[in-house]
Amino acid sequence: PTTAIFTFNRDGQTLGGLLVSALLALPCVIFAAYKVPHPLFFVFELRLTTDGSMGPKEALLEASKNMVEDLVMLGRRFTHEWELLKQ
């Protein structure tokens, strides 16, 4: 109940790396890694183990939410710096 393997279709290593980084930032995650079964197909498998305080699905959703928030903040900062540069 604390380990799960998720398969992501139509995506490659970029999302896999981002998700693993976001998952490892959560204190309940013990192990998170991804693998690409075949380089010609845009599919990766994410293996996730938690300590039991949160299930793997909940941890993945929390990490995804945190990752989206970080990307939104990055976009705002980039836009702000771009506007400052234009002036």
Tens digit of pLDDT per residue, the chain (87 long)?
899 999 999 877 788 999 999 999 999 999 999 999 888 888 999 999 999 999 999 999 999 999 999 999 999 999 999 999 988
Backbone phi and psi for residue 4, each to the nearest 5 degrees, phi listed first = -145, 155
According to DSSP, residue 25 is labeled T
Number of neighbouring beta carbons within 10 Å of residue 20: 19
Considering the entire predicted model, what is its pTM? Answer: 0.85
Contact 50, 56 (CB under 8 A): yes
What is the structure's pLDDT at 14? 85
Q: Bridge-partner residues for 8, per DSSP?
A: 44
So what's the architecture of 2-86 in CATH? 2-Layer Sandwich (3.30)
What is the structure's pLDDT at 11? 79
